[in-house]
Amino acid sequence: MKPLNLVLAQADAQNAVLLAENLQSHFKGVSLARDFEEIRRAVVQNRADVAVIDLEMASLSAIDQLRREFRNLEIVCTHRLADERLWSAALGAGAIDCCHPSDVRGIVLAANRTAIMARTTAA
């Protein structure tokens, strides 16, 4: 199984550091980005497979734009008030899931589930 590189962008800097620490053991590399342009640069520089983006930092149209620009990038959105409506809108914009930022397990499962499915389909 190929280790994944992840870019993490969260509105709350303290939560971003905590989440990054929790994700370190699940991914090959975790890079922090502070804004949308940093996300784009980090995806390229780190050859990221997954981006975890707080919807308080990026609009759904920005998520859609990122997904179109980087076709192989999987995007997991986070939001402190994630509900079914927001989850549905995030998926419509191209995200693979929308989780609460404290849901490390959900984020890891979403990222890895997609990677496993892609490998299975390719085989």
Task: Tell me the domain boundaries of the chain.
Answer: 5-122
pLDDT at position 120 is 41
What global pTM score does this model have?
Answer: 0.89
pLDDT of residue 122: 45
The CATH number of domain 5-122 is 3.40.50.2300:
yes
Q: Mean of the pLDDT values across residues 98-117?
A: 85
| Sequence-distant (≥ 6) Cβ neighbours of residue 39 within 8 angstroms | 7, 9, 33, 51, 53, 58, 66
